[in-house]
Structure 1
């Protein structure tokens, strides 16, 4: 059995706490260090895992016992610790999105070129077993020539009664809903590859904390082969949808995450139905979650399907560090750059 990968977590907030706990429960990882500028938060999380506590990410990056640096800061603060860790030769796992503007994304990519460590991005839905099988079918040619990939996450999101100055509700720090909820857009570009053209439209502005933001965003892509990508995200849709589809000339496969199913269609007929996860109980948890009001997760371990998803993601992170998987390392920045471009186009159109 391989030695555990020694983890240093930068950021002791919700995601840092969640990922540290998940790593501690995974055979491949050992949490050895935590860094957060809020000393009490750093100390509290470090003590929970018998790890060292730092107030500066530079101290953590300089710690020779750390193999993998997990960047779990708010979205606008990803670049500095990621760049520092890559330049120090560490493996780096950055929570999605990689960055919220071209400069931050570009600086991380520049540091990753030729680095000893691997750049791993937390596009967790790539690690869902059913999604991996969908993409594998497309790449093997089992669907014929790929003509479309599409995805959507549309629901009403209920905000906390008193969100205060919560960074997730400030697009200057989160990048906006398209970047913060980038999962399905990432699946589209993971299936299709680099696009040659990006179009975007936003609308339905609603109050989001202290800010007014567009609650409905539609993005379309074209690839050099002519295949099309379509993506939609909404925080105000009472008819909820959550799905991802790849269509080819011979067949289509579609994951319905609210139903916990992956369905293959041939000539308009259902040819096969399998699960999103390999555990039926996790698929049932998806169905149960679909029946509850949707809100941003602000604490707690989450439902079974979410815990299963994180475990699958950590399997892929460990495989990436050990050089046996590229699921979370290929196209690390494509989705972020597409979303940044889409946000820019939408802002220009709104003027």
Structure 2
């Protein structure tokens, strides 16, 4: 079978650290083009990995013969770029949050359906080994129902992660529209939906900019969510975890507790009410400092090769986005939002 021809829109940190090297490492892929408004970035990637550099993604779409694209641009461009690629008959992998509002998310889903291409959202939390293991343990039924939980994602912010540091688009509201919630919170709403195989039906959000200067995007959020099953929990996103990030989840269940990503080395810990303790060393989570493969690229490629629709679909991405949008609405109105 011939290789899948891929282009990458946006050559910033997520593209350079995850998408591009992971495509390059995948034997089924040929990287053919890169687009970035900063010409040098696209050229640097083309020089390193082969292919052609563009400053304009629309021009790239006109000129290149492709099978798929990765959309790694600022949030406000996710929808227009994804829709343009779908309309060109290409499979799309888009970074999270998939869009900046529900209407755009819906338009992306419709464009993919109309053109019979796949739309996958880069929610890599689902694919991390500790999370896969935890889901398997929960589904075995040994812990019984999940009653309450907390899940959080925090790090010091995009300053050290983004190629532009403090001048990054992450801090510009017109390009990002949301801060820590769009960056980290949406990962957690997606993860908790996946892990519990359940939907969020109500959300209350406390969202604010506590410490980042000269920006009006949120740097912290704590949300209370109620699931369809009745379970209640908190979901937290922070860009001010200056000492020690957090990507941990704890679920209190009928027959015990399961702790995920809370102890270095023991990625999943199960403590049953009968006194047994089980620990699982299943491999690390990806962090900004430690780039273990995200799994997202290989999964996207596998879907195309085997013609299997992605499980992390546009529809899934939109449900996870709606939780975050509900939290913003809650913050704005001071009320609990029903989803």
Normalised-by-shorter TM-score class: 0.7 to 0.9
Alignment CA distance shift 1:159-1:325 (3 Å):
same
2:293 aligned with 1:309: yes
TM-score scaled by length of structure 1: 0.80
For residues 117-163 of structure 1, give each alpha carbon's deviation from its aligned partner in whole angstroms, at most 9, with x where no partner exists.
21111111211122112223334534323334431124554846x95
Q: Which residue is 2:170 aligned to?
A: 168
Alignment CA distance shift 1:342-1:5 (3 Å):
same
Alignment CA distance shift 1:265-1:76 (3 Å):
same
Q: Distance in 2 between matches of 1:55 and 1:87?
A: 20
Q: Distance in 2 between matches of 1:251 and 1:5?
A: 46
Report the alpha carbon displacement of residue 40 of structure 1 after superposing the two structures with TM.
Answer: 3.5
2:226 aligned with 1:242: no
Q: Distance in 2 between matches of 1:246 and 1:113?
A: 36
2:254 aligned with 1:254: no
Q: Distance in 1 between matches of 2:309 and 2:250?
A: 23
Q: Which residue is 1:4 aligned to?
A: 3
Q: Could you tell me which of 209, 214, 223 is aligned with 1:210?
A: 214
Aligned residues: 324
> In 1, are the aligned partners of 2:154 and 2:247 still within 8 Å (CA)?
yes
Q: Distance in 2 between matches of 1:156 and 1:34?
A: 29
> In 2, are the aligned partners of 1:143 and 1:252 still within 8 Å (CA)?
yes
2:162 aligned with 1:177: no
Q: Which residue is 2:92 aligned to?
A: 92
Structural RMSD (CA):
2.9
Q: Distance in 2 between matches of 1:158 and 1:116?
A: 35
2:209 aligned with 1:187: no
> In 2, are the aligned partners of 1:245 and 1:254 still within 8 Å (CA)?
yes
Alignment CA distance shift 1:157-1:90 (3 Å):
closer
> In 2, are the aligned partners of 1:138 and 1:246 still within 8 Å (CA)?
no
Report the alpha carbon displacement of residue 342 of structure 1 after superposing the two structures with TM.
Answer: 0.8
Q: Which residue is 1:345 aligned to?
A: 330
Report the alpha carbon displacement of residue 3 of structure 1 after superposing the two structures with TM.
Answer: 4.4
Structure that is richer in strand per residue? 1
Q: Which residue is 2:281 aligned to?
A: 275
Q: Could you tell me which of 287, 302, 316 is aligned with 1:331?
A: 316
> In 2, are the aligned partners of 1:33 and 1:51 still within 8 Å (CA)?
yes
Q: Distance in 2 between matches of 1:126 and 1:145?
A: 20
> In 1, are the aligned partners of 2:131 and 2:195 still within 8 Å (CA)?
no
Report the alpha carbon displacement of residue 272 of structure 1 after superposing the two structures with TM.
Answer: 1.5
Q: Which residue is 1:292 aligned to?
A: none
Consecutive unaligned residues in structure 1, runs of 5 or more: 290-296
Alignment CA distance shift 1:31-1:239 (3 Å):
closer
